[in-house]
Structure 1
Amino acid sequence: MKRLQVLKITKKVEYALIALKHMSVKDGQTLTSARELCEAYSMPFDTMAKVLQAMNQAGWLTSLKGIKGGYTLSSDLSQISFMQLTRAIEGQEAANVCMGNKGMCELHGTCNIVTPVTQLHKHVTSFLENLNIDQLLTSGPTLPLPAWQYEGKTDGI
């Protein structure tokens, strides 16, 4: 049975969430490097570096440059909404292709569901604007994370 995909989260947003979760479990002041994250979670370095830079520019991380540099959280995750995170990483969310945009849909001008889809988009956007990252990352059971070394531990975070 094929799984229905209602909301698509980009890889970059997933990487941002992984990085924020990883950093939030640390004491808050321990530096986390892009390389550390990439090795722990098998992610591409260039993409992770760009994601961390975007979160730093948004003011959610503090960076320390240099060979022993890295990032620490500088914001309370309960003050960052999922929508803010998505916009910081990806830019403004793309409008649904059937939101009445000329040239975006072959049914433009004849479609009979523009209003319901517009309402759905508003509800989903409102939900994502009110869902903070702390709620998202702490809800439900924590799944096992990949093995990595943190202060000599190899049993995960």
Structure 2
Amino acid sequence: MKLTTKGRYAVTAMMDLALHAKLDRVSLVDIAERQKISFSYLEQLFRSLRQAELVVSSRGAKGGYMLARDAKEISLADILIAADEKINLACGGGNTCDDTQPCLTHNLWTNLSREFFEFLNSKKLSDLVRSRHVQTLATQQDVTQIGDIPIQISRY
């Protein structure tokens, strides 16, 4: 399994949204600026995330996105599945392998796929954003420059 840009960006955007959840609604423009992701690409991703009921949106001047449920209830697997990532590590033996006529390594890859999914499902969005590394980077992203003086942007 190779994680595509779509999956990586979906996780990054959801982490950004979780980090800024106290702001109420978060605009895609803000996420795009902080994470250096194309706005139009984020629009496509958030369409999938909204359909998977991971985020909710509102329109208008104070519109934006929010998590649809608590970050403790959203797993890494949920996000990757919403982004249409393939989490299956099956042997993919083509015409020579399937569940009815398995190849020699079929059970190995099937079991590994199950364990990998369980691992991704156990990693909650809340766990990801609590790490010291993520918190440090998020703080740095919320600092801007006015002249030569760095200032902290307070959104509370």
Q: Judge same fold: TM > 0.5, yes or no.
A: yes
* CA displacement 1:61-96 (0-9 Å, x = unmatched): 2211235421122311111121111111116x2643
| Alignment map for 1:37-116 (pairs within 5 Å) | 37-90=31-84, 93=86, 95-96=88-89, 98-102=91-95, 112-116=104-108
Q: Which secondary structure does the structure 2 equivalent of 1:141 belong to? A: helix
| Alignment map for 1:117-156 (pairs within 5 Å) | 117-139=109-131, 141-142=133-134, 143-145=136-138, 147-148=141-142, 154-155=151-152
From the two aligned structures, give the one with the greater strand fraction. 2
Equivalent pairs, count: 146
Identity over aligned pairs, percent: 21
Shift of residue 50 of structure 1?
1.4
From the two aligned structures, give the one with the greater helix fraction. 2
Contact residue 82 and residue 131 of structure 1 kept, 8 A: yes
* 2-structure distance, mates of 1:27, 1:121: 32
Unaligned 5+ segments in structure 1 are: 1-6
Unaligned 5+ segments in structure 2 are: none
Asked if 1:21 is matched to 2:5, the reply is no
* CA displacement 1:92-150 (0-9 Å, x = unmatched): x264352444278xxxx895322222221221122222222222332453352463469
Determine which structure has greater relative contact order: mean sequence separation of CA pairs < 8 Å that are 6+ residues apart, divided by chain length.
2
Give me the CA root mean square deviation: 3.3
Contact residue 99 and residue 117 of structure 1 kept, 8 A: no
Residues 99 and 140 (structure 1), Cα distance of their counterparts in 2 relative to 1, 3 Å cut: farther
Runs of 4+ in structure 1 over 4 Å off: 152-157
Q: TM-score, normalised by structure 1?
A: 0.71
Q: TM-score, normalised by structure 2?
A: 0.71
Residues 124 and 156 (structure 1), Cα distance of their counterparts in 2 relative to 1, 3 Å cut: farther
Contact residue 54 and residue 89 of structure 1 kept, 8 A: yes
Residues 94 and 135 (structure 1), Cα distance of their counterparts in 2 relative to 1, 3 Å cut: closer
